[in-house]
């Protein structure tokens, strides 16, 4: 089979399924895994797919379009809730905490017990829920992004620069060994990066579906944060700092 024929089959499969492993494509093409990896590398250079550890993802599926936060709240909820409960248990009296916007970090709020800690967030609904629960909370100012209901922009960045957090709890759209922690939006990536840099220790809350996915904008290296997850993925992620929460 000619290379261009293989390319077409690979792209059609990704268009239908969104993702594919090297092993799956090897069987589909009746080609060696080494050949498949070369094909994926060539297509990635042309911007026709996203190459991730062990396979590839569709550019269309991993583009800049995001589901609204209301559609993501129920996805993987049991896993998110267990991860969030563990994260909430880590907060102490003297902590000055940043809680990132996002559906997994939002699950922390019902589990928070420490009324003496202080919380800062860029999530509008996070701030409202924290206030209703009786916590001391600061909401950073800036532009409100409709898709995620997160505060972003230069004003939000300036607001973060005056803070020195003891702990930051972050969300992510994807975790890739090559790209690190990633998200679709540049402005949200800037907020995440700034919060991590202003924190003594940072935790990324992510269920197992976030691994081996790469979105357009990287906001941190893997070794800059601790990962709280429900399931340890295969493929060498143990080289990063991962905390596994047993379900």
Domains in the chain, ordered, with CATH? Answer: 3-58 (1.10.10.10), 69-244 (3.40.50.1360)
Are 98 and 196 contacting, i.e. CB atoms less than 8 angstroms apart? no
In the numeric block, the tokens 């206030």 are attached to 131
Least confident of 4-13, 62-71, 108-117, 161-170: 62-71
Residue 71 has pLDDT above 50, yes or no: no
- Band the pLDDT of 242: cuts 50, 70, 90: low
User: What span, in angstroms and rounded, lies between the C-alpha atoms of 242 and 231?
Assistant: 10
Q: Is-above-0.85 flag for pTM?
A: no
Q: 178 with 214: CB under 8 angstroms?
A: yes
* Cα distances (angstroms) measured from residue 247 to each of 113, 175, 231: 21, 20, 8
The predicted pLDDT at position 68 comes to: 47
Q: Are 98 and 163 in contact (CB under 8 A)?
A: yes
The helix/strand count (H/E) of the chain reads as: 9, 15
Residue 215 has pLDDT above 70, yes or no: yes
| Mean confidence (pLDDT) of the chain | 87
120 vs 131: CA distance, rounded Å: 11
Token pair listed for 218 = 């990287």
Ramachandran region, residue 94 (left: φ > 0; alpha: ψ -120 to 50; beta: rest)? alpha
Per-residue model confidence as pLDDT tens digits over 150-189: 999 999 999 999 999 999 999 999 998 888 999 988 899 9
Tell me: pLDDT of 235 over 90: no
């Amino acid at each position: 089979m000619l290379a261009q024929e293989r390319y077409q089959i690979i792209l059609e499969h990704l268009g239908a399924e969104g993702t594919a492993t090297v092993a799956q494509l090897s069987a589909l093409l009746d080609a060696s895994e080494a050949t498949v990896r070369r094909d994926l590398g060539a297509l990635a250079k042309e911007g026709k797919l996203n190459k991730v550890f062990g396979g590839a993802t569709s550019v269309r599926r991993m583009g800049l379009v995001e589901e609204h936060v209301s559609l993501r709240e129920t996805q993987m909820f049991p896993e998110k809730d267990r991860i969030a409960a563990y994260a909430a248990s880590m907060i102490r009296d003297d902590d000055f905490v940043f809680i990132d916007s996002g559906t997994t970090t939002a699950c922390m709020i019902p589990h928070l017990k420490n009324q003496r800690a202080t919380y800062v967030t860029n999530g509008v609904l996070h701030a409202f829920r924290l206030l209703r629960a009786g916590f001391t909370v600061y909401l950073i100012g800036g532009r409100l992004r409709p898709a995620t209901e997160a505060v972003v922009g230069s004003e939000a960045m300036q607001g973060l620069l005056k803070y020195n957090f003891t702990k930051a709890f972050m969300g992510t759209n994807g975790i890739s060994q090559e790209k690190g922690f990633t998200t679709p939006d540049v402005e949200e990536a800037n907020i995440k990066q700034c919060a991590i840099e202003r924190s003594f220790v940072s935790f990324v809350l992510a269920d197992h579906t976030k691994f081996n996915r790469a979105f357009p904008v990287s906001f941190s290296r893997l070794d800059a944060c601790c990962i709280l997850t429900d399931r340890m993925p295969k493929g060498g992620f143990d080289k990063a700092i991962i905390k596994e929460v047993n379900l």
